[in-house]
């Protein structure tokens, strides 16, 4: 083993004989030591907004989805850690259920994800829809932030490479960036069933090679994201993702490669898969 200083954070790291890099007992991938030059060179300041105020009813009864546990740790804590691991992120704004701000603050602190080390972590109350929660998160950003990554708490296992790639693409000039993966399933467009309980008629089959499933974090220039949220509020427009708002108002959105482990935990089976992914990571990477 030999000693080295981790260039981006100036903390002590250790390199073992196999050229593995260790920091605070955790084996790091090489990207952890890469300096995110694009943001720094352009003097850009990136913050993350984490909508975590959903009830998660499709997961079944219990705590709000973001507070359900994965490997003994709340989904939200995993998601915040994934963001704070990126050297691009300088601040994380967690949007908690309106009646759960104190509980979320306490949970983050008790898991060491409250911002004592690394990027600052704020917790603000959310709204009745995801879009409203994102808007409330945006309102809490300090003026110096010019790039925003919006990341669902329900995607706890997003690899840091994906976070970095999205931030880098925004820094390199794309105003709206979405990580995406090809579809495994063929998708059918359907019409309404003629009567309740009757089969739905198929209207068409879009060419699968032109379709992508999109993930988060989605990255934006702050002024663009703020302006589409303002317009959506004034026109009562609702979208299921932030990039959808940019598209609606004529902005160009581009894709970067997402990752199969950045899937959204929605149904009980997703939690089983997430537990398996986490166990595999712990066995391989020992964190």
Which residue in the shown chain puts its C-beta closest to ligand C5P? 54
Of residues 32, 152, 242, 261, which one binds ligand C5P by CB under 6 A?
152
Find the shortest distance in angstroms from Cβ 164 to ligand C5P.
Answer: 21
Q: H or E stretch including 26?
A: strand 26-28
85: left (phi over 0), alpha (psi -120 to 50) or beta: alpha
| Strand positions, DSSP E, 75-230 | 89-96, 120-125, 147-150, 176-182, 189-190, 202-204, 212-214, 218-221
Among the listed ranges 106-114, 129-137, 185-193, 253-261, the one in contact with ligand C5P (CB under 6 A) is 129-137
d(CA 100, CA 118): 24
d(CA 86, CA 159): 9
Of residues 45, 48, 65, 157, which one binds ligand C5P by CB under 6 A?
65
CB-nearer residue toward ligand C5P: 39 or 93: 93
Is position 244 an interface residue for ligand C5P (rule: CB under 6 A)? no
Of residues 78, 85, 87, 130, which one binds ligand C5P by CB under 6 A?
130
d(CA 96, CA 92): 12
Find the shortest distance in angstroms from Cβ 130 to ligand C5P.
Answer: 4
d(CA 170, CA 256): 11
Is position 66 an interface residue for ligand C5P (rule: CB under 6 A)? yes
Residues that bind ligand C5P (rule: CB under 6 A) add up to a total of: 18
CB-nearer residue toward ligand C5P: 27 or 105: 105
């Amino acid at each position: 083993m030999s000693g080295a200083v981790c260039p981006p954070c100036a903390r002590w790291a250790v390199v073992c004989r196999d050229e593995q890099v260790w920091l605070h007992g955790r084996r790091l991938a090489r990207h952890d030591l890469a300096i995110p030059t694009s943001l720094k060179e352009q003097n850009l300041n990136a913050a993350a907004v984490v909508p975590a105020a959903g009830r998660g009813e499709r997961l079944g009864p219990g705590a709000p989805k973001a507070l359900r546990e994965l490997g003994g740790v709340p989904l939200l804590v995993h998601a915040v850690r994934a963001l704070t691991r990126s050297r691009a992120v300088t601040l994380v704004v967690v949007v908690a259920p309106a009646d759960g701000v104190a509980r979320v603050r306490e949970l983050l602190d008790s898991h060491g994800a409250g911002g004592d080390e690394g990027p600052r972590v704020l917790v603000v109350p959310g709204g009745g829809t995801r879009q409203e929660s994102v808007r409330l998160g945006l309102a809490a950003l300090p003026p110096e932030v010019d790039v925003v990554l919006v990341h669902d708490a329900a995607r706890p296992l997003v690899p840091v490479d994906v976070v970095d790639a999205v931030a880098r693409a925004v820094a390199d000039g794309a105003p709206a960036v979405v990580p995406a993966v090809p579809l495994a399933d063929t998708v059918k467009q359907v019409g309404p069933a003629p009567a309740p309980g009757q089969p739905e008629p198929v209207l068409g089959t879009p060419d699968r090679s032109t379709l992508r499933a999109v993930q988060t974090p989605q990255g934006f220039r702050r002024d663009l994201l703020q302006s589409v949220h303002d317009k959506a509020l004034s026109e009562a427009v609702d979208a299921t993702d932030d990039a959808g708002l940019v598209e609606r108002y004529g902005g160009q959105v581009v894709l970067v490669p997402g990752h199969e482990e950045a899937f959204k935990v929605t149904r009980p089976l997703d939690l089983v898969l997430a537990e398996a992914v986490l166990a595999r990571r712990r066995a391989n990477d020992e964190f």
